[in-house]
Structure 1
Amino acid sequence: MKLLILDRDGVINHDSDAYIKSLDEWIPIPGAIEAIARLSKAGWTVAVATNQSGLARGYYDEATLQAMHTRLRELVAEQGGELGLIVHCPHGPDDDCSCRKPKPGMLEQIAAYYGVMLKGIWFVGDSSGDLSAARAVDCQPVLVKTGKGERTLAKPLPAGTLVFDDLAAVADQLLHL
């Protein structure tokens, strides 16, 4: 199985330090939806692992989050692709859960769902927490410069981190391996 795991905010859609709280605020990054669809059509399974502490903070509810994910799936389907499993951490940073990145719980959940080992699987994110979660389970950390990516790039990166301009560039690379 060819599996790619993505963070959501800052990788697939524009991020905001004020959180993405509504379907109207959920705006795809140019080229991201098409990238997911291209990968899907080429035989890749694309899954998503996303921290959503806005739930714990009361900024939006589970129905709003699901509406965003339904819209994401619809947009990918309109491009002829399919999006795989989407997992989210609803906890806040002080909840001491095992799923919130930089902990690898969501990545482990995706691996269990698909029955795969995570070693070498690309996990694409825009934050240090994403890269740390990837490293914790021997995924290949991949940083995109969208979202918080430029800020993250200014800090030390885990050894072996690959860096791309955006998700479209990641797809270009994977489709030409």
Structure 2
Amino acid sequence: MKLLILDRDGVINYDSDAYIKSLDEWIPLPGAVEAIARLSKAGWTVAVATNQSGLARGYYDLATLDAMHARLRELVAEQGGEVGLIVHCPHGPDDGCTCRKPKPGMLQQIAAHYATPLDGIWFVGDSRGDLDAALAVHCQPVLVKTGKGERTLSKPLPAGTLIFDDLAAIADQLLL
């Protein structure tokens, strides 16, 4: 199985330190939707693992989050592709869950859903927490410079981390 796992905010859509709280605030990054569609049409399964502590903080509700993900699926479908499993962590940073990145719970959930090992699977993120989650389950950590990526790049990265400008550059590499 050709599986690619993506973080959401800062990788697929613009991020905000004030959180993405509404469908109107959920705005895809240039080329991201097209990249997912291109990968999907080439036989890749593209899954998403996203921390959404705004739920725990009361900034938005599950219906709003579901609407954002439905919009993502709709935009990718308009380009002829599809989005695989989307998992989210609804917990706050102090809730002690096992799913909030850098913990590996969401990545393990994706592995179980697709009944596939994660060794070497690319997990694309824009934060150190994403990279650490990847390492916890032996995924290949991949950093994009979008979102918080430039800020993350200014500090030491895990050995072997791959770095790309954006999701479109990753699609270009995987579809060579």
TM-score band, normalised by shorter chain: over 0.9
Mapped pair 1:102 → 2:102: yes
Letter paired with 1:72: L
Whole-angstrom CA distance in 2 between matches of 1:169 and 1:49: 20
RMSD over aligned Cα atoms: 0.2
The alpha carbon displacement at 1:134 in A equals 0.1
For residues 82-110 of structure 1, the C-alpha deviation after alignment (integer angstroms, 9 at most, x for no partner) is 00000000000000000000000000000
- Residue 114 of structure 1: CA displacement? 0.1
Distance 1:8 1:106 in 2: 13
Q: In the TM superposition, what is the alpha-carbon distance from 1:120 to its structure 2 partner?
A: 0.1
What's the offset of the Cα at 1:156? Answer: 0.6
Counterpart-to-counterpart distance in 2, 1:56 and 1:156: 30
| 2:24 alignment partner, SS class | helix
Q: Which residue of 2 aligns with 1:33?
A: 33
For residues 43-77 of structure 1, the C-alpha deviation after alignment (integer angstroms, 9 at most, x for no partner) is 00000000000000000000000000000000000
Q: Distance in 2 between matches of 1:158 and 1:104?
A: 16
Pairs within 5 Å for 1:67-106? 67-106=67-106
What is the correspondence of 1:126-141 to structure 2 with a 5 Å cutoff?
Answer: 126-141=126-141
Amino acid at match of 1:159: A
User: Is residue 9 of structure 1 aligned with residue 9 of structure 2?
Assistant: yes
Distance of 1:55 and 1:84 partners within structure 2 = 22
CA distance in 1, matches of 2:95, 2:175: 39
Write the distance in 2 (CA, Å) between the matches of 1:171 and 1:119.
Answer: 20
Which one-letter code corresponds to 1:111 in the other structure?
A: A
Q: Which runs of structure 1 show a deviation greater than 2 angstroms over 4 or more consecutive aligned residues?
A: none
- The sequence identity of aligned pairs, in percent, is 87
How far apart in 2 are the matches of 1:61 and 1:41? 32
In the alignment, is residue 65 of structure 1 matched against residue 65 of structure 2?
yes
Partner of 1:38: helix, strand, or coil?
helix
Name the structure 2 match of 1:143: 143
Runs (5+) with no aligned partner, structure 1: none
Amino acid of the structure 2 residue aligned with 1:11 = V
- The alpha-carbon deviation at position 112 of structure 1 amounts to 0.2
Once the two structures are TM-superposed, the CA of residue 167 in structure 1 deviates from its matched residue by: 0.2
* Residue 152 of structure 1, CA deviation: 0.1
- Residue 160 of structure 1 aligns with an amino acid whose one-letter code is G
Structure 1 counterpart of 2:31, which letter? G
Given the alignment of the two structures, is residue 47 of structure 1 paired with residue 86 of structure 2, yes or no?
A: no
Point out where structure 2 has 5 or more consecutive residues left out of the alignment.
Answer: none
